Structure 1
Amino acid sequence: MGVVHLARSPSGLQLAVKVVHRQHAADPEFRARFRQEVAAARRVSGAFTAPVVDADPTAALPWMATLYVPGPTLSAQVKRNGPMSPAELRRLTAGLAEALRDIHRAGVIHRDLKPSNVLLPDSGPKVIDFGISRPYDSDLRTETGKLIGSPPYMAPEQFQRPREVGPAADVFALGAVLVHAATGRGPFDSDSPYIVAYQVVHDEADLTGVPGDLAGLVGRCLAKDPAERPTPDEIMAALHPPSYEATAFIPAQRRPAASAVAGTGDAADGPTHVRAADGLPSRAGGVRRRTVRRLAVAAAVLALVAGCVWAAGALGGSPAPDATDSGGKEERPPAFVPWQTTLRSPSGSTPSCSPGGEALYCVAAGFGTARLDPSDGRVVWSRRDASPEAPELGTAPDGTAYTAEPGGRLLAYAPGRAATLWETGLSAYLDVPFPAGDTLLMAGRDGTTRGLDAKTGASRWRHAVPGHQQPGYALYDGGTGLAYAFEHSADGATTLVTAVEARTGRTDWQHRLDGMLTPAGTAGGALLLTSMNGSALTTGLVRYDPVPRNATPLPLPYRMNAPEVVVAGTTAFLLERGGALLAVDIRPGAATAERWRLETAVGLTSTPVLGAGNRLYFSAADGRLLAVDTEHGTLLGQTRPRLRAGKLGHASSLPAPVVLGRSVVATAPDGSVFAVDADDPARW
């Protein structure tokens, strides 16, 4: 139906770009199917699929770009190496079951799961090609006298009752795929697709060669009656650890003693303030990974500063009053009361929030922009916008907030009201502004960079950064006031890195380093960068000390798929989109790089954020907020999922949580913004 090109983004990520053939682009029915493919791929974009980066189904030649997944298809793997071993087969079973669970949770039926649509990278199986998938709520009918699918992997109902095809059809296909992986053939085998179709509907599946401990489960997947097939969750439960490597430590919920319940009540089960802000209709909007990462890093820096201020007050302030000063009663801080506010939009898109001064600002597709009171979630003011795409949100240290849409307008708001302080167009710039303290850095299409005062919109400086053609900004260090620009060479062999004073535009230092590198953090005056290989996998870190101009490679214990990185002291924390969390020692000459690793079993994660008390927080695609002990690498607690009608929305990337003193604020696909007690994750 088209051509798939291997491409590279400006930051070095390898992409697969699918472009439709011209003759199909002229077919209105095919265009409708391609729009549905894009919508389905976006809805399920995550750890078990190839995440969608961008798409234009309305172009003269419709196209869709996803992250490139390095690895063979299951079909090619079996053809080259023969049937899988029992251990490999169990891991494949678990991985595909987990993939189907997330696909179905997103409200999508794949309908064409087969060995050629399963990729096998190091990070686990990925399901691709949603060309004939159908959302549960789709109005597009595909049953017009045509059989759609691949007969050896189609369920009986796809031949008999195509309008009644549901998630169980994908489970049937999973059973057929597993037989192929175990034996090199399908459970129904013939050179004629018509005979295969007859066998699928009437004959029993041939499970010869399937390992005995899996044959029963695979047989259930291939049941003729959809109601008799197991769900993906039941398949994973049948393959309980240590049958496959997918376990994580989840602590039991702590409960107070009976006397405590009788006296004050359980804080975890106590009252929750729930507020709702009515919004306007929208469909879920995509957020570009690089800009979200930039704003999330800035939000994390501001949140960490706020957390440190709170900690300093708690640890270094006035001593606690003596019991005699209060009539013999010990004074206690007021109990934390969790809250939740819903920014309503019909699509249920996940809001994004950022702290600014004493305020909390949030945006959501179809809703607009709102300022919330971080103490109780009350909406102080809101500015409605029915746009289906959520703007990028940023804040300055003085509380000024701004929203930006690529190619559109940049609007800055006064802290106390919804009034616009200033605005400017973005059509002359490559991307939305990069926040650097009270300065907004804007990279122009002509190669120049402009520094704007975030409060007034006045231009502080404008010039080309020496040595750069099209610089990208990936990191700002609030302690030094330096922003780090980087640019890969055309062949990806080297990276030019420049430290720029954000307020003046002056170059502090510049150096060309070997490898495809991206600035990720700072530690003790040194710059820490991630290093990618030709397959866009992160293979290590590089520590660059600008004074001696010394670059030290820090290899990782294994390759990671596009991890988000935060740095604290001498440790870097790398969180993969698939939930694997790794802590590494970044000191030069450390005996071993790995300090600990944790498999959180989360399908898609946000950028992690550091908080007080050796805690790290991040969000999951199903609306959970998780807390990890950074010293020991253990999961401290997690909130419940918050899904819209039990389904995942489109989330190619997730907004990071915000740490504000004693609370952690997170967002979820149901449109909610919620705050929990940072001091006690076990009660979440």
Structure 2
Amino acid sequence: MTPQRNTGAGAEAELPEYAGHYRLESCLGSGGMGVVHLAHSASGLKLAVKVVHAEFARDPEFRGRFRQEVAAARRVSGAFTAPVVDADPEADRPWMATLFIPGLSLSEHVKRNGPMDPGQLRRLMAGLAEALRDIHRAGVVHRDLKPSNVLLAGDGPKVIDFGISRPKDSELRTETGKLIGTPPFMAPEQFRRPRDVGPAADIFALGSLMVHAATGRGPFDSDSPYVVAYQVVHDEPDLTGVPESLAPLVLRCLAKEPENRPTPGELMQDLRLVAASYDTQAFIPAQRAGQSPEPKGRATDSKRRPRRRVHRLAGLALGVLSLVAGGAFAAVQLFGDGPPTVHAAGPRSAPASFAGWDVKAPGRAGAPQCSYTSGKLLCAQTGVVFALSASDGTLLWRHSAPKGRPGGPPVMSGGLVQPSLDGGRHLEALDPASGRPRWQRNVPPYAGIQQAGGMLLLTRADGTVTGVDSATGRTTWSRRIPGYAQPSLAAFPADPLVYAASASNQGTRTRVTAVDPKTGDVRFDVRLDGYLKPVGAEGGSVFFADGSAAYEDVRAVVRYTPATGEQRRVPLPYPLERPRFSLHGSVVHVLGAGGALLAVDLEARVQRWSLQTAVSRGSVPVAGPGRVYFSAADGRLLAVDARTGRLLGQTRARLDANSGELATAVPAPVAVGNRVYGTAPDGTVFAVGGNDPSAW
């Protein structure tokens, strides 16, 4: 391989061929302290690899800062950042590999399309406030939030480049007199006392960034960074052009003293009062619709259908490389009560017999949790259980359930509807035709509930598990599971057993116990390698996620077959944080917290495909005929080709207009043949045809 040439200022003439075991294929761009290269992992995953310049690699202080950057990026990797795949800060030329995520930076967006409109600005500010909330919760202060460090992904902004960020517990401190940051977006304290910079500095930068997004300039503008620094410390910001509805919030962010600025949580609350709603639609400007040809892999918007809004595929915008000028270097990627009203869906390519529908659920706001049985959807919200016709969304019955929150969708067990309330002391089962209680009873307080084999299994705080017959409500057994102080039971459809798992203190071995839900008898008890959590069971095998001791990330999928004792493991190409799993035959679909969706074949021991969806928080992925479906926290339903991993389409976002919040726990969609049923934070339950997701 001929060494690559770098045209970036101050960079080496010859660039390395490899970073670790990653072959560097091309130079994407360079900054003051390093170069970003395009690379691929062994499984074909597209990566952006940041390699520092040789001159800085010889500087012990810089190496310390690079180690800090890697640690900070790993700590916040997930919902609002580009996940770190691999890194070696101790290499001769330190490097870090992150996912290559297509997306427009805010600076490029404003440069191409001009200032954002008020609706876009509200969504941007809300998304960044949520991003900073999570970044600060992780104990990290970014310290260089600016337009080039914000990517506008389909489900909201992504904050990138933690090159000068600092974990609050870091032992590395800024040298006296050394200013680090980008002057137009630095807080006064970054000039006055850089050693004491805290989370409030990121709020100040957010205010400056919002002015730029609204006007194309900053609140303190000058060609001289020295003049800008003086203005930041002493002058009032220029908010000319900022919408009146947002100007007071932006002004509070730009307060000179850190203690006078709002927290991210306070900003999110205030934004709900500014506008009745905001959503997390893709930040793709309308001016670009129908312009240059779409890049490969992106849905085209050139054909306009009457009365239908065509939604672009999230996260597949034109790629742009964001570089940090003169300092930190961006290692970033191109990137109501009563019957509900039924609304007929717009034109679709689904079969003529099913046009689709959407209804408002009869309970309080929040995404209902639903399951399917015999032509109806059984759904639960806080305070209510109800049934809808699967064909047209008609409300069939409703039942008030004020004594517990749904711990999952209602299920059919023992011929009756089991609401699956989480916690409390009241149990009841409902008639599936009328919703009237068939039996009710009070029980001792329980910490968890699980349904399996026609039984309700209640786990108490003292570790006792009680089996209650679903059909009659009578207790049939009560006992402790040997070796478990308080078991967390996992059950899976069509599997006759429930499973408890307990890892060793070192996290290298896991005890797995299978229990007969009808009797409480132990069917098998084994020790398996790894820190395992049951995620599915099918065909006589149990499937597990193998991760870290805290189960914050997962590194492999494991299949265990009790009849033979075989334990088969397939490593993931990179760790996934807080993933959700579903099983379809021998294929496990895995959706990570940062939006990575993978299909792992345990029989062939290979990863079939992977897709970066840019969904910050998603549901359990659900398999349908030739499709994989999952829901996003903003109420979107997304469809992926099960064979190729290509994103096929998505519905619009449906946020709660009263709160503007995303769902914390995202209910999974329900796939029945070529129909898919989803729910959203605004209380909507909707149905679409699965034949043509691009028409959603």
For the superposition of Structure 1 and Structure 2, which TM-score range results when normalised by the shorter chain?
A: 0.5 to 0.7
- Given the alignment of the two structures, is residue 336 of structure 1 paired with residue 354 of structure 2, yes or no? yes
2:237 pairs with 1:201: yes
Asked if structure 2 preserves the Cα contact closer than 8 Å seen for 1:189 and 1:196, the reply is yes
After superposition, give the CA deviation of every residue in 1:220-277 in whole Å (9 maximum; x if it has no partner): x99x9xxxxxx99998879x9xxxxx99744669889xxxx9xxx99999xxxxxx74
Deviation at 1:487, TM superposition (A): 2.0
User: 2:689 corresponds to which residue?
Assistant: 677
Change (3 A) 1:350 1:464: same
Cα contact 1:171–1:232 (8 A) shared by 2: no
| 1:605 is the counterpart of 2:618 | yes
| TM-score when normalising by structure 2 | 0.56
Equivalent in the alignment of 2:546: 531
Counterpart selection for 1:452 from 468, 474, 478: 468
Shift of residue 460, structure 1, vs aligned partner? 2.8
The separation in 1 between residues aligned to 2:631 and 2:647, in whole angstroms, is 13
User: CA separation of 1:638/1:234 partners in 2, compared to 1, >3 Å: closer, same or farther?
Assistant: closer
Deviation for aligned residue 1:471: 1.4
Q: Measured at CA, do residues 556 and 499 of structure 1 come closer, stay the same or move farther in structure 2, by a change above 3 Å?
A: same
2:210 paired residue among 171, 175, 178: 171
Aligned position for 2:534:
519
Deviation of the 1:657 alpha carbon? 0.8
What pairs up with 1:581-620 in 2 under 5 angstroms? 581-587=597-603, 590=605, 593-611=606-624, 613-620=625-632
Partner of 2:237: helix, strand, or coil? Answer: helix
Are the aligned partners of 1:401 and 1:415 in contact in 2 as well (CA < 8 Å)?
A: no
**Alignment partners' CA distance in 1, 2:356 and 2:280:** 33
**Does the aligned pair in 2 maintain the 1:94–1:236 contact within 8 Å?**
no
User: 2-side partners of 1:415 and 1:512: how far apart?
Assistant: 41
> How far, CA to CA, are the matches of 2:577 and 2:595 in structure 1?
10
Structure 1 residues 663 and 90, CA gap change in structure 2 (3 angstroms): closer
Bigger share in helix = 1
- Aligned CA distance change for structure 1 residues 87 and 349 (closer, same or farther; 3 Å): closer
Residues in 2 aligned to 1:378 and 1:166: alpha-carbon distance in whole angstroms: 49
Counterparts of residues 374-413 of structure 1 (less than 5 Å): 374-384=390-400, 392-397=408-413, 398-413=415-430
1:382-413 CA distance string (max 9 Å, x none): 12457895564421253523241323423321
Residues 407 and 494 (structure 1), Cα distance of their counterparts in 2 relative to 1, 3 Å cut: farther
2:141 equivalent in structure 1: 116
- Deviation digits for residues 188-221 of structure 1 (CA, Å, limit 9, x no counterpart): 897xxx9843157389xxxxxxxxxxxxxxxxx9
Aligned pairs for 1:320-469 (under 5 A) are 335-343=353-361, 348-365=365-382, 368-384=384-400, 392-397=408-413, 398-425=415-442, 427-431=444-448, 433-469=449-485
1:565 aligns with 2:581: yes
Identify if the C-alpha distance between structure 1 residues 268 and 370 changes in structure 2 by more than 3 Å, giving closer, same or farther.
farther
Q: Do the aligned residues in 2 keep the contact of 1:253 with 1:683 (CA within 8 Å)?
A: no
> Which residues in structure 2 correspond to 1:244-283 (within 5 Å)?
249-250=298-299, 277-278=337-338
Q: Counterpart in 2 of 1:503?
A: 518
| In structure 2, distance between residues paired with 1:369 and 1:97 | 47
- Contact 2:404–2:423 (CA under 8 A) maintained in structure 1: no
**1:160-179 deviation per Cα after TM superposition (whole angstroms, max 9, x unaligned):** xxxxx99855635999xxx9
Instruction: Give, in whole Å, the separation in 2 of the partners of 1:236 and 1:557.
Output: 30
Are 2:562 and 1:546 equivalent residues in the alignment? Answer: yes
Query: Relative to 1, partners in 2 of residues 1:237 and 1:481: Cα closer, same or farther, differing over 3 Å?
Result: same
Could you say what secondary structure the match of 2:419 adopts?
A: strand
- Check conservation: 1:350, 1:364, Cα contact below 8 A: yes
- Structure 1-normalised TM-score? 0.57
Query: Equivalent pairs: percent with the same residue?
Result: 30
Retained in 2: the 8 A contact 1:152–1:188?
no
Instruction: Compute the RMSD of aligned alpha carbons.
Output: 5.3
The counterpart of 1:663, out of the listed 664, 672, 675, is 675
What is the aligned length? 468
Whole-Å separation in 1 of the counterparts to 2:304 and 2:100: 41
SS of residue paired to 1:558: strand
Larger RCO of the pair (alpha carbons < 8 Å, separation 6+)? 1
Give me the whole-angstrom Cα distance separating, in 1, the residues matched to 2:132 and 2:76. 21
Matched with 1:623 is 635
**Matching residue's letter, 1:526:** S
Rate the CA distance shift 1:384–1:470 in 2: closer, same or farther, 3 A.
closer
Distance 1:427 1:250, change over 3 A: farther
- Structure 1 residue 96: Cα displacement: 12
Which structure 2 segments of 5+ residues have no match?
1-71, 110-119, 167-185, 192-203, 219-224, 240-252, 257-278, 289-294, 312-335, 341-349
Q: Deviations over 1:290-314 (max 9, x none)?
A: xxxxxxxxxxxxxxxxxxxxxxxxx
1:539 is displaced (CA, Å) by 0.8
Aligned to 2:682, what secondary structure does the other structure show?
coil
Q: CA 1:430/1:364 → structure 2, altered by over 3 Å: closer, same or farther?
A: closer
State the secondary structure of the residue aligned to 1:565.
Answer: strand
Post-superposition Cα deviations, 1:34-84, rounded to whole Å, max 9, x if no partner, equal xxxxxxxxxxxxxxxxxxxxxxxxxxxxxxxxxx9952799xx9xx99999
Residue 635 (structure 1) shift: 1.7
What does residue 655 of structure 2 align with? 643
Question: Displacement of 1:606 after TM fit?
Answer: 0.9
Whole-angstrom distance in 2 between the partners of 1:90 and 1:415: 46
The answer on whether the counterparts of 1:545 and 1:551 sit within 8 Å (CA) in structure 2 is yes
Give how far 1:633 is off.
0.9
CA gap of 1:111–1:567, structure 2 versus 1, over 3 A, is closer
In 2, the alpha carbon distance for the partners of 1:656 and 1:442 equals 23
Residue identity matched to 2:419 = Y
Distance change (3 Å), C-alpha of 1:235 and 1:572: closer
Q: Give unpaired runs (5+ residues) of structure 1.
A: 1-67, 130-148, 155-164, 180-185, 204-220, 225-230, 241-245, 270-275, 281-331
Structure 2 Cα separation of the partners of residues 660 and 644 of structure 1? 26
Q: Which residue of 2 aligns with 1:146?
A: none
Question: 1:504, 1:617 → 2: CA distance?
Answer: 36
| Shift in Å, 1:551 | 2.2
Aligned to 2:638, the other structure's residue is in SS state strand
Quote how far apart the aligned CAs of 1:444 are. 2.2
Q: Could you say if the C-alpha distance between residues 354 and 153 of structure 1 is closer, same or farther in structure 2, counting changes exceeding 3 Å? A: farther
Whole-angstrom CA distance in 2 between matches of 1:383 and 1:571: 38
1:600 maps to amino acid: T
Specify the SS of the correspondent of 1:171: helix
Alpha carbons of structure 1 residues 484 and 605: separation in structure 2 relative to 1, 3 Å: same
Three-state SS of the structure 1 residue aligned to 2:141 is helix
Shift in alpha-carbon separation, 1:195–1:635, aligned structure 2, 3 A: closer
Q: Distance in 1 between matches of 2:417 and 2:660?
A: 32
Is contact 2:667–2:679 with CA below 8 Å preserved after alignment?
yes
Determine the C-alpha separation between the residues in 2 that align with 1:465 and 1:511. Answer: 14
Structure 2: which amino acid aligns with 1:503? K
